[in-house]
Amino acid sequence: MYRRGLFDSVRSAFIDKSEQDPERFLRPPYNHDESLFYEECQHCEGRCATACETEIIKIHEDKTPSLSFEKNGCIFCDDCAGVCELGVLSLDNKRDINAVINISVSSCLGWNETMCFSCKERCLESAITFQGLFKPVIDLSKCTACGFCISRCPASAIEIEGC
């Protein structure tokens, strides 16, 4: 057995059960029932992804949509809900994205004394403020979890908690 195999087998004995759960996806903000994604999206051709002008909606192999903030964020334009004929996404269920955005203090340039305002400049809700000159902080009462700060962070220091 190679060392890597040995370490992998030892690691697997200590893995937290939550790590073994299926991946949870960050869903568009116009939903109210997670089960509808699995029941109804099977009958759709991903119209929500096609309608998304910021191109953040990705369709998975199981035909369910999720959000990806790698290049952009959500502007809450309502287009994805407007094209959903199956009621999975609905304007009646418009709300913030169900996630908490967090800044990793150890990775953030600002928290490590390098001037950077990339996240603040793109925040649509002015939810990012600074402690002193450098240290960005997210005001969760203002944050809609739109994801623009994530795509703009040059240090990949902004993370999504719980989805």
Q: How confident is the model at residue 133 (pLDDT cuts 50, 70, 90)?
A: confident
Q: What is the DSSP string of 86-134?
A: TSSS-GGG----S-EEEE-TTT-TGGGT----HHHHH-TT--EEEETTT
Contact residues for 17 (Cβ-Cβ < 8 A; gap 6+): none
Per-residue pLDDT, 25: 86
* b/e burial code for range 95-116 (CB count within 10 A of at least 16 → b): eebebebebeeeebbbbeeeeb
Per-residue pLDDT, 12: 45
Contact residues for 6 (Cβ-Cβ < 8 A; gap 6+): none
Average confidence (pLDDT) over 88-108: 93
High-pLDDT (> 70) share of the chain, %:
85
- What is the CATH architecture of 100-161? 2-Layer Sandwich (3.30)
Domain-by-domain residue ranges, the chain? 22-93, 100-161
Q: How confident is the model at residue 74 (pLDDT cuts 50, 70, 90)?
A: very high
- Report whether pLDDT(129) > 80: yes
How far, in Å, CA of 4 to CA of 115, rounded?
Answer: 40
Neighbours of 11 (CB within 10 A): 9
Select from 3.30.70.20, 3.80.30.20, 3.40.50.10800, 3.40.50.2300 the CATH code of 22-93: 3.30.70.20
Per-residue pLDDT, 21: 41
Q: What is the mean pLDDT of the chain?
A: 86
Closest residue by Cα to residue 127 from 109, 101, 153, 151: 101
- Report whether pLDDT(75) > 50: yes
Average confidence (pLDDT) over 98-112: 95
Average confidence (pLDDT) over 104-131: 94
Domain 22-93 and domain 100-161, same fold? Reply is: yes
pLDDT tens digit sequence for 37-71 = 999 999 999 999 999 999 999 999 999 999 999 99
Q: What pTM was estimated for this model as a whole? A: 0.79
